[in-house]
Structure 1
Amino acid sequence: MTTVATPARYATVRGWVAASARSIAPHFPIETFIARNPVAGYETLDHEEAMRRIAHDHGVLLTPSEERFRALHTDGRIPLADLVAALHQLVPEARSPHPIVADEFVTTATEVLLQDLLVSPPRAATSTALPTPASGLSPRVHARVDDLTSRWLTALFGDAAWSTPTRGEGMWDAWRRLAALDPTLPRRVRAGIRSTPAEPAAAIDVALEHWGLEGDGAEEFIRAHILAQPGWSALVRHTAAESRSVDLVSLVAIRATLERLLLPAGATLPVRAPSTGRDEEARLLAVATALRADLTVPDVRAALGRILSLTDAYTRLSIWQEAYERRTARALAPASAPVLRTLEETPRPLAQAIFCIDTRSESFRRHLEAAGPVETLGFAGFFAVPISFRPADGAPGVASCPVLLTPRVAVSESSVERDALGRWRRHRTAIAERGRAAHALGESTLAPYAFAETAGWFFGAASVTRTLAPRLWSSVRTGMRRAKPTTRVDADVVFSLDERVLYAETALRMMGLVDGFAPIVLVCGHGASVTNNPFASGLQCGACGGHEGEPNARAAATIFNDPATRDALAERGITIPDDTLFVAAQMDTVTDEVTLLEPWALPASHEMRVLELTRHLETARQANAADRLAGLPGADRDGDAVRETLRRSSDWAEAFPEWGLMGNAAFIVGPRAITAGVDLGRRAFLHSYEAAADPDGTGLETILTAPLVVAQWINAQYAASTVAPDRFGAGPKPLHNVVGTTGVLSGFGGDLRIGLPWQSVGVGRHAHHEPVRLQVFVQAPLARINEIVDESEVVRNLVVNRWITLRAREHDTARWMRFGRYGWETDDLDTTPVTGMPVGDHETTTKENRS
């Protein structure tokens, strides 16, 4: 085969690369780690079909194995009733009650397919991704291509002094120039690199012509190279959106060129062995044996074969997954029961506290409500204020909003104490410069030896203190820092009045907070204080782009307190009383401490109320810390809970500072009344919503097209890191080797790790996270939900293709409806809560579900 090298041909090759790139999601650098479904490109497919494609492309299963599911069934975790219900949900033909008669053998479709689930040879979890030519011809060459590519990309994306070899060149041009000089490569290979085309698409085309590939074969070849090292490919895909010098076409060209030149001349593509029908025969025999059916009778064999043809190995996995999720959904579903209402006017609460929908807020909200007269609400942690934030220390601005949004306004932190701010900023700059210098010394080749001779004694003592007394070391460092001067954010200045009113009204209507305001409304962002954790941003606020929520809380409080904004809101039907004060706060999800961010701005009229609120916050902190520590590995459960959380936040050897969003399983949209007082085990994203306060449905549309999507990303990433940790996880923390600010390697080389560290989902060899798809419960008019599903392609893909399970009801006394294959249907899910619901190997108790 000979192809003509033309611009049109190069465009075709680039199109194949773009299509293949959908097999892996972009990887955000760890400094702004964002949860993403690593297989988001398959969401246009039905979940079952996606499992087939992912197994073919990536060599992994997207669910637990059949052996694991069967063990859970034997242990009672998956009851037979749930298995039958799941079977009927996914295989409509199995619902038929009519018996199947073949000769003297009588059975039903349900009975045959149940035995298929229980006894058929399980679908093996493949371990080989889509093969490249080298992986089939010479594993040694394949490993060599991987190693050379990894070394090159480590140098390209690293931050050591010697890791900037490109001189501003494009990725492909720099590689051609430098790889041709690499003495570790054979002379023949170096000569071949020098003669490769200057256009990377042309270099790929040379490889395609070499192997005689075209059409689907060419695209599969390209996809195999992209998926050979999915971590590096995901990083390149993300970076390519911001830089023209890095792109996947160049990455594939590098790999394809190395492979073509390193393999022996004359090598041809290996022939794949055709699949056989042995698996189906073994399946038929296993089911017939279980049913005591005689396969020598033609009618019996034909009848069983006809029923078994309704499903295959991936359908079985899909049925098992559905059955597995039903118990979780039962435990987390808000009950359908009348809510006791009274005509008596309820007392005005001391405060209302708005927390992020983050699952970690669920238990703190419960404990805070139990501590005193405080109502809580849930809202995405950027509080409807998408900003780019410039801190007072002069650091670069960060996008503090969901990655689905682009901030249009830059909010700055400033201070009237200009002299104090200048001294503080110079102090921070000096500390940062010393840190960069120490890091550069560590990356240098010879300097560390001289540095150790002169200052090693000091750093050795410091290391001993950090290891044996982490809290003492943290206190010393805190004492050495200069106090930050009083600052404010200028959200009331940079946003126009119309923008302030829009953001304020949107947030209040989405939450249903349009009347009954308390004297204090706490706007509480969140962050996580950890030490020596490359994935620290993964514990921060996902709604704030992997940053702390402090800037957004302060900006939102400033807007809500603005008199002009309040006057305009009153004209729109939202009257905020004069004595209502919005107070910005920050919750540390490691220590459970809630800090008021601008205490100097509190008026004297609210001092006593704020003091009472802080007491309730401290009570909730004590209770929540004890609650969380009960499930954290290595926790001192007999000591002071708060003291233990402080140790974990400052200990540089602590692999489990907190569990993050481990266990996340549900997204609940509705008034707080439907979940108040219920222990959901930190497994639910809770978004406040009152349909009556959102007459045109725009609030619900925002919830389902933004926070819901981000929650699904988080849910999918935790699940993928659990079921396929070697492919979609980041591996154990002790093995991490950081590559600049982009990611980590396991050891000194190999693929860039994507997903979550194993310590975020498991302990030892046992998974702690339950890999269930997101169970969504929405209390809102069904017609309104239908419009959103119809109009949003992203939401429609998630719902119709079964990447999430959507349930809804009109009001709190109605039964839940489930969105099925043919629209809404009455859900047969028993909403009686299950006590002692396991979360992996960890037991949490769901209390009696009362509305």
Structure 2
Amino acid sequence: MTTNTPESRRAAIRGWVAVAGRAISPHHPLETFIARNPLADYEHLPYEEALRAVAREHGILLTRAEAEFREMHAAGRITDEDLVAALHVVVPEARTPRPVIVDGRITSITEILRQDLLVSPPAVTSGASMPTPAAALFPRLHARVDDLTGRWLAALLGAPAWSTPIRRGPMWETWRRLAALDPSVPRRVRAGIRTAPVDPADAIDAALQRWGIDDDGAESFIRAHLLAQPGWTALVRSVGDRARGTDLTSLVAVRATWERLLLPADAALPETTASSSDTAARQEAVAHALGADGAGVGVSATLHRTLSLVDATARLAVWQEAYERRVARTLSPSAEPVLRPVGPAMARPLAHAVFCIDPRSESFRRHLEAAADVETLGFAGFFAVPISFRPADGSPEVASCPVLLTPRVAISESSVDRDAITGWRRRRSAHLERRATVQALEKSTLAPYAFAETAGWVFGAAAAARTVAPRAWRAASERLRSRKPPTHVDADVVFGLEERVLYAETALRMMGLVDGFARIVLLCGHGASVTNNPFASSLQCGACGGHEGEPNARAAAMIFNDPATRAGLVERGIHIPDDMLFVAAQMDTVTDEVTVLEPWRIPATHETAMWELSRALERARSANVVDRAAELPGAPVGAADSVVVADARRRAADWAEAYPEWGLVGNAAFIVGPRAITAGRDLGRRAFLHSYDTAADPDGSGLETILTAPMIVAQWINAQYAASTVAPDRFGAGPKPLHNVVGTVGVLSGFGGDVRIGLPWQSVGVGREARHEPVRLQVFVQAPLARINAIVESSEVVRTLVLHRWITLRAREHDTDRWLRFGSYGWHTEPGFAVAEASAATVAREEQREKENL
């Protein structure tokens, strides 16, 4: 239906833009980079439908290629049993036991579809996204449109020092004014820009009329332009401001107007042709595999009817499901817990250590438990304290909490010694100002030339020193700058007593720590020390919004240690012993060094225990660094532990290091339950481990929070790593050596083009080989099924992810129960799960009992 008034027409066009823009998720600037599924807005579709839509609109496969899956099947990585089980999940008709007769041979729907997976022509894509008119007619002019638009957006959003005039007004208005003065485009194009409509929606309408596109095709035309440069589109979605005129409508108007004016006046859209079907080829291949005569009428009809149940894209969904089953079996928690001996001398452990659920903590926790009598727990790294943090050095305030939450309060860092912090802050501010001045000079139009002539020799020598001896350079730099005086955070001031008690109770119940406290509970946040890495925030704590977890650990420790808070907890059924001390710490995931953040708060009564814990942390650090180094490119594998630890320090300081650490590569599972079900197992840093004890969460609110917040963030991370692996040119940031930083918003590969989204290739692969396994998040929850059912029913986000199979949810109520999988018709058992794990757990338990008897 055609709209009548100009206002209604503009509203319709803006609506089409809003819908089309959902084809790519917002991309956060580098300084606040967090993992996010770049295709999150496809999650309203079932997984197979999303695969089709992504292939059609983006021109890429969201899985491995079918040929790769077949190679893994031939090598035994994917078994026939996995294929059959996957067919039963994806294709309901395959579950029927009814036999099928093909050329006199008795077979089944499952067997026909299994052969289809193995022998039919593999699924392919066009390798290109939806074409704009320019892409379909004149690819070189399409590239010209991309280049002109990218340069404009780099100036607008990248904020170079010379781009102030560009940011003075709305995006479309400013573009019309300044692009009409661009001497690099023909005069007729400049004249067309001057006479372009004042409203960007009208400019889009003019393009639609130019190409003869009706309302039914308008959204596809707009989506094609938005997906021509998905990086800039995602960035505008994230930082755009409709009130200031920076929005997707203006972006489409700029691109569509460039295209309309640059293409010849007599250009016309080509006729679309229907794609040919591969049904005949599939039928012939499957008939041959079954040993049947495919030319027979009955055979052809039977195979056609059966093969129509799946298309090439659905086959990929089956392969993906089969591929993930082995990963799930490998990472599924034990069917029975590994028992920890308890005796009079071990009734109270040396310490409890609470780490972020981040997979990098999994191996450190395992090594720490082996190094001393320490019980570890997993909890989201913001420790249930959603804050914004003001550092003592005057740096900008940051939101240190999951992006799903809004900071409740702003916490400031203060010094115990006011005079000392004043002098340090003055020196620190001077250093930051000098650095800001240098950066401004680098971005200005003419100043870099004069700056290079006068100061280049100094910076050249410094660059040489940093390159040759990165560790020595960092050590010297730290000595030149005064060390930071002791500081504290004012959580006890900004949070009211009721809030402190609520936060404390929520955190303790969610992690299952409500009794049996050790004398020390270490709250260990994490961060990553890296140099010259635009994607540094991707290595920080995702639960803290891409920042370090230090302020949250300090605020949480202060809240837990507050006498009034503890008194309030007693009224809620949680009694923290008087001799119990919460200690804030920070783990560097590059060097694995754990630093106590406020050592001056530790009383003399706990010094011995802290000394023992520090020794255990150092032993765990050495063991974990050696463990991780085996997988890092260029690491001194087989060298002495001290050499490997020193290499980790070098990676943190070396500004040329492309692999400081592996981050969350390999992440595949989210496990919710007591530590006993994963203790002692090497999960290869592939699992998010969130502690949970049903008895400590009587009303189930803790489990609801876990599944609606930490699990969602884990799914974002998992989806982004997968997308950056299977489609690095589309959803990844490309190789680090090619990166050119655009202000603080993103990177380009080379000098122009689209801003890159996703993770650098060096975060997911080495050379041409992917290091990350692209699998959907496998979620295991040990909790009452009724609670999980209620959460799935009440949370639309969780329900959509589960029922549309963007995640796989398995659960059980007790340690010895089999894992059940949630599907369209509720919970059901799966073949191949829990049998082997139960046997292994039983053996481990019997061995433990024998040791105790000895």
Query: Normalised by the size of structure 1, how large is the TM-score?
Result: 0.96
Contact 1:832-1:849 within 8 A present in 2 as well: no
For 2:160 and 2:284, locate their aligned partners in 1 and report how far apart those are by CA, in whole Å.
61
Distance in 2, matches of 1:77 and 1:466, equals 45
Partner of 1:330: 329
Mark the CA change 1:709 to 1:2 in structure 2 (over 3 Å): closer, same or farther. closer
**What CA deviation, in whole Å up to 9, does each residue of 1:45-95 have, x standing for no partner?**
000000000111111111001011011111111112211211122223223
Whole-Å Cα distance in 2 between the matches of residues 242 and 708 of structure 1?
31
- Residue 847 of structure 1, CA deviation: 14
SS in 2 for 1:500: helix
Q: CA deviation at 1:833?
A: 6.5
Q: Please, which moves more after superposition, 160-169 or 371-380? A: 160-169
* Partner in structure 1 of residue 183 of structure 2: 183
2:365: which partner in 1? 365
1:110 partner SS: helix
Amino acid in the other structure paired with 1:293: A
Secondary structure at the counterpart of residue 166 of structure 2:
coil
1:689 partnered with 2:692? yes
From the superposition, tell whether residues 152 and 86 of structure 1 become closer, same or farther in structure 2 (CA, over 3 Å): same
Q: Deviations over 1:525-582 (max 9, x none)?
A: 0000000100000000000000000000000000000000000000100000000000
Matches within 5 A, 1:240-251: 240=240, 244-251=244-251
Q: Match for residue 801 of structure 1?
A: 804
Q: Which residue of 2 aligns with 1:787?
A: 790
Deviation of the 1:449 alpha carbon:
3.4
1:177–1:327 Cα change, 3 Å: same
Q: Mean alpha-carbon deviation: is it higher for 120-129 or for 447-456?
A: 447-456
Indicate yes or no: 2:747 matched with 1:744.
yes
Q: C-alpha separation between the residues in 2 aligned to 1:249 and 1:738?
A: 26
Distance (Å, rounded) in 2 between the aligned partners of 1:642 and 1:216:
62
Q: Which secondary structure does the structure 2 equivalent of 1:745 belong to?
A: strand
Spell out the pairing of 1:98-177 with structure 2 (5 A cutoff): 98-177=98-177
Decide which moves more: 454-463 or 192-201.
454-463
Distance 2:624 2:7 in 1: 62
8 Å CA contact 1:352, 1:518 repeated in 2: yes
Amino acid at match of 1:155: A
Matched AA of 1:819: F
Counterparts of 1:376 and 1:134 in 2: how far apart (Å)?
58
Note the 1:701-712 alignment, pairs <5 A: 701-712=704-715
SS in 2 for 1:188: helix
**In 2, Cα distance between equivalents of 1:241 and 1:376:** 44
Quick one: distance in 2 between partners of 1:642 and 1:558? 32
Aligned to 1:841: none
In the TM superposition, what is the alpha-carbon distance from 1:271 to its structure 2 partner?
A: 1.4
TM superposition shift of 1:483: 1.2
2:263 aligns with 263
Compared CA separation, residues 750 and 160, structure 1 to 2 (3 A): same
**Aligned counterparts of 2:364 and 2:835: Cα–Cα separation in 1:** 24
Aligned partner of 2:203 in structure 1 is 203
CA contact (8 A) 2:61 2:726 kept: yes
Contact 1:354 1:524 in 2 (8 A): yes
Q: For residues 798-827 of structure 1, what are the alpha-carbon distances to aligned partners after superposition, in whole Å with 9 as ceiling and x for unaligned?
A: 000000000000111111000012111112
Q: Structure 1 residues 441-450 or 71-80, which shifts more?
A: 441-450
Kindly state the Cα deviation for residue 252 of structure 1 after the two structures are TM-superposed.
Answer: 0.6
2:311 aligned partner: 312
Q: Which residue of 2 aligns with 1:608?
A: 608
Structure 1 residue 242, shift from structure 2 partner: 8.4
Contact preservation (8 Å) 1:65, 1:125: no
Q: Distance in 2 between matches of 1:418 and 1:494?
A: 20
Check whether the contact 1:61–1:126 (CA below 8 A) recurs between aligned residues.
no
Structural mapping, 1:104-503, within 5 Å: 104-240=104-240, 244-277=244-277, 279-337=278-336, 340=339, 346-503=346-503
Distance 1:364 1:237, change over 3 A: same
Consecutive unaligned residues of structure 1, counting only runs of 5 or more, are: 835-845
CA deviations on 1:262-296 (whole Å, 9 max, x unpaired) are 1111322221111223x111111111122221122
Structure 1, residues 572-611: CA drift from partner, whole Å, max 9, x if none? 0000000000000000000000000000111111111111
How far the C-alpha of 1:194 sits from its partner, in A, is 1.1
In the other structure, the counterpart of 1:839 is none
Task: Write the mapping of 1:743-782 to structure 2, written as runs, cut at 5 A.
Answer: 743-782=746-785
* Matched residue, 2:506: 506
- Per the alignment, in what secondary structure is the counterpart of residue 611 of structure 2? helix
Structure 1 position 417, deviation (Å): 1.9
* Alignment-mate amino acid for residue 328 of structure 1: V
Q: Distance in 1 between matches of 2:514 and 2:807?
A: 31
> 1:156, 1:165 within 8 Å by CA — same for their partners in 2?
no
Q: How is 1:28-39 mapped onto 2 (pairs within 5 angstroms)?
A: 28-39=28-39
Corresponding position of 1:539:
539
Deviation at 1:102, TM superposition (A): 4.1
- Determine if contact 2:338/2:680 at 8 Å carries over to the other structure: no
For 1:729, the equivalent position in structure 2 comes to: 732
Q: Which residue identity is paired with 1:19?
A: V
Cα distance, 1:280–1:848 mapped onto 2, change above 3 Å:
farther
Higher deviation after alignment, 441-450 or 110-119: 441-450
Residue 663 of structure 2 aligns with which residue?
660
> Contact 1:339–1:812 at 8 Å: present in 2 too?
no
Unpaired segments ≥5 residues, structure 2: 849-854
* CA shift in 2, pair 1:456/1:342, >3 Å: closer
Equivalent residue pairs, number: 840
Cα separation, 2, equivalents of 1:309 and 1:416: 73
Q: Distance in 2 between matches of 1:256 and 1:66?
A: 36
Which residue identity is paired with 1:669?
A: V
Superposed displacement of residue 167, structure 1: 4.5
Cα drift, residue 166 of structure 1: 2.2
Residues 242, 775 of structure 1: CA spacing in aligned structure 2 closer, same or farther, 3 A cutoff? farther
Given that 2:818 and 2:834 are in contact with CA atoms closer than 8 Å, whether structure 1 keeps it comes out as no
Structure 2 Cα separation of the partners of residues 256 and 8 of structure 1: 20
CA distances 1:776-804 after superposition (whole Å, capped 9, x unpaired):
00000111001111111111110000000
> Per the alignment, do residues 584 and 241 of structure 1 end up closer, same or farther by CA in structure 2, a change over 3 Å counting?
farther
Q: Using the TM superposition, give the Cα deviation of residue 461 of structure 1 relative to its aligned residue in structure 2, in angstroms.
A: 1.9
Residue 120 of structure 1 and its aligned partner are, at CA, apart by 0.4
Supply the AA of the counterpart residue of 1:287: V
Taking structure 1 as reference, are residues 385 and 833 closer, same or farther at Cα in structure 2, changes over 3 Å only? Answer: farther
1:85 corresponding residue in structure 2: 85
Could you give the per-residue CA deviations for residues 623-665 of structure 1, whole angstroms, max 9, x where no partner exists? 0000000100111121422111001000111000000000000
Moved more, 748-757 or 156-165: 156-165
Alpha-carbon spacing, 1:394–1:234, altered in 2? closer, same or farther (3 Å): same
Matched residue type, 1:792:
S
Alpha carbons of 1:514 and 1:241: their partners in 2 closer, same or farther (altered >3 Å)?
Answer: farther
CA deviation string 1:19-59 (max 9, x = no partner) = 11111100000111110000000001000000000111111
User: In structure 1, how many angstroms separate the alpha carbons of the residues matched to 2:411 and 2:843?
Assistant: 45
Q: Is the 8 A contact 1:520 1:582 kept in 2?
A: yes
* Paired position in structure 1 for 2:621: 621
Change (3 A) 1:750 1:17: same
Q: CA deviation at 1:454?
A: 2.8
Residues 721, 428 of structure 1: CA spacing in aligned structure 2 closer, same or farther, 3 A cutoff? same
In 2, the alpha carbon distance for the partners of 1:115 and 1:709 equals 36
Partners of 1:534 and 1:167 in 2: CA distance: 24
Letter in 2 for 1:557: A
Q: Which amino acid aligns with 2:306?
A: I
State how far apart, in whole Å, the 2-side matches of 1:820 and 1:848 are.
32
Q: Does structure 1 residue 672 correspond to structure 2 residue 675?
A: yes
Q: What is the TM-score when the length of structure 2 is the normalising length?
A: 0.96
Is the CA contact 1:330–1:833 (under 8 Å) kept in the aligned structure 2? Answer: no
